[in-house]
Amino acid sequence: MDHQDSQWGLLAQWIEESNRIVFFGGAGVSTESGIPDFRGAKGFYHQDREIPLEQVLSIDFFTVHPQAYWEWFAQENAREGVAPNAAHRFVAGLERAGKLSAVVTQNIDGLHQQAGSRRVLELHGNWSRLTCTGCGERFTLDDVDDARSGEVPHCPTCASVLRPDIVFYGEMLDNDVIEGAVQAISEADLLIVAGTSLVVYPAAGLIDYYAGERLVLMNATPTPYDSRADLIIREPVGQVFQERQHAPDVALADQPDVTAFLQDLARDVERQVAGIDHAAHEAQVGGDQLLGIVHDEDTPHVQTHAVALLAIPQVEGGMLGNIE
């Protein structure tokens, strides 16, 4: 069994055993949907721009020069093929199955809702919602004709400038959203943190409220929280949640029964374990004590033990990180 298979098996086991999962996502969750992240090699902050994006997304700059934001938004909104990917669909499927209690996201793209998620806590807001800077009336992009044109949209009621319902640099996060995220994370029995470098605060600090023993970090590069993780996965988030046994573009969450598919995945891992076991006997290689657990016909949880044991050497960081 290779590194990725062992990680898949352990993650599948934990998901199947959990009923209060929280999915905490960052920009890396949406990169496979065609939206760049911010700090990656091809991210927004590395783009050659006349005005740095950090400045465009600051409230002080927006107040004086709203045109810069709306030009950037029109460019990004015009990207073709942007849609929820396998990660968004899988998470929505977990919610439908009653296993996921909340999505906590740093993204402003609304792709989780498009995939069907309902319990979404948006730490940084949502760029598809608009608020009037004058009268405070709220709109959606579809309510305002020129909101996607690159020109500054104005309120249909009072003609004041409209702003996106996002948290600009220099603004405070919504207290109700923060409280909801803290409660969900503190009550979670499995916390999956995906596509975020965990360097932006106060969002990153929410991880500190997790008191469980199953912290999964899914990010292409190391994070400050790697030493606390119980499982680290470096593969792209959407790829991890994509079905491998059928058509390559079908997500796990698209299956009628998420739990049943996870069981299929576990059986696939078990078959690989059995193959390793058979090869070990053929070659008369050592390790009989470990494989003896797999052979114990009186053990009712052979599948669980086999997956967990073979996953341990591949786990980075956390309580299992130093086991060879």
The residue-averaged pLDDT of 149-165 equals 96
User: Do the bridges between strand 120-122 and strand 231-233 make them parallel or antiparallel, or are there none, so unpaired?
Assistant: unpaired
- Buried b / exposed e over 55-75, threshold 16 CB at 10 Å, is ebbbeebbeeebebbbbbbee
Is residue 161 pLDDT above 80, yes or no?
A: yes
> Given this model, what pLDDT does residue 251 score?
39
Question: Who wins on pLDDT, 310 or 224?
Answer: 224
What's the burial of 103, exposed, middle or buried (CB within 10 Å: 0-12/13-18/19+)? buried
Reported as a pLDDT band with limits 50, 70 and 90, residue 5 is: low
Structural domain boundaries, residue 52 = 36-78+129-166
> Given this model, what pLDDT does residue 8 score?
73
User: Do the bridges between strand 138-140 and strand 125-132 make them parallel or antiparallel, or are there none, so unpaired?
Assistant: antiparallel
Reported as a pLDDT band with limits 50, 70 and 90, residue 44 is: very low
Is residue 150 pLDDT above 90, yes or no?
A: yes
188 located within any domain: no
Reported as a pLDDT band with limits 50, 70 and 90, residue 272 is: very low
Reported as a pLDDT band with limits 50, 70 and 90, residue 255 is: very low
Residues, the chain: 324
28 located within any domain: no
Our count of domains for the chain comes to 1
58 located within any domain: yes
Question: Who wins on pLDDT, 103 or 53?
Answer: 103
Distance CA 256, CA 259 (A): 9
Distance CA 155, CA 174 (A): 23
12 located within any domain: no
Distance CA 305, CA 301 (A): 6
Reported as a pLDDT band with limits 50, 70 and 90, residue 50 is: confident
52 located within any domain: yes
Q: Which of 3, 112, 124, 301 is catalytic?
A: 124
The domain spanning residue 145 has which CATH number? Answer: 3.30.1600.10
> Given this model, what pLDDT does residue 265 score?
52
Is residue 98 pLDDT above 60, yes or no?
A: yes
Reported as a pLDDT band with limits 50, 70 and 90, residue 119 is: very high
> Given this model, what pLDDT does residue 312 score?
28
90 located within any domain: no
Q: Any idea which of 78-82, 167-171, 181-185 has the lowest mean pLDDT?
A: 78-82
Question: Who wins on pLDDT, 172 or 281?
Answer: 172
For residue range 186-216, list pLDDT tens digits in order: 999 999 999 999 998 888 999 999 999 999 9
The residue-averaged pLDDT of 139-158 equals 93
Question: Who wins on pLDDT, 128 or 312?
Answer: 128
CA–CA distance from 272 to each of 97, 253, 276, 284, 307 (Å)? 27, 23, 6, 18, 10
Reported as a pLDDT band with limits 50, 70 and 90, residue 26 is: very high
Reported as a pLDDT band with limits 50, 70 and 90, residue 248 is: very low
Q: Which residues pair with residue 163 across a beta bridge?
A: 131
Is residue 316 pLDDT above 80, yes or no?
A: no
Known catalytic residue at 88: no
> Given this model, what pLDDT does residue 78 score?
76
Question: Who wins on pLDDT, 67 or 9?
Answer: 67
* pTM for this entry: 0.73
Reported as a pLDDT band with limits 50, 70 and 90, residue 145 is: confident
288 located within any domain: no
- Buried b / exposed e over 127-150, threshold 16 CB at 10 Å, is bbbbbbbeeeeebebeebeebeee
The residue-averaged pLDDT of 241-270 equals 48
150 located within any domain: yes
Q: Any idea which of 125-139, 238-252, 263-277, 289-303 has the lowest mean pLDDT?
A: 289-303
Is residue 177 pLDDT above 80, yes or no?
A: yes
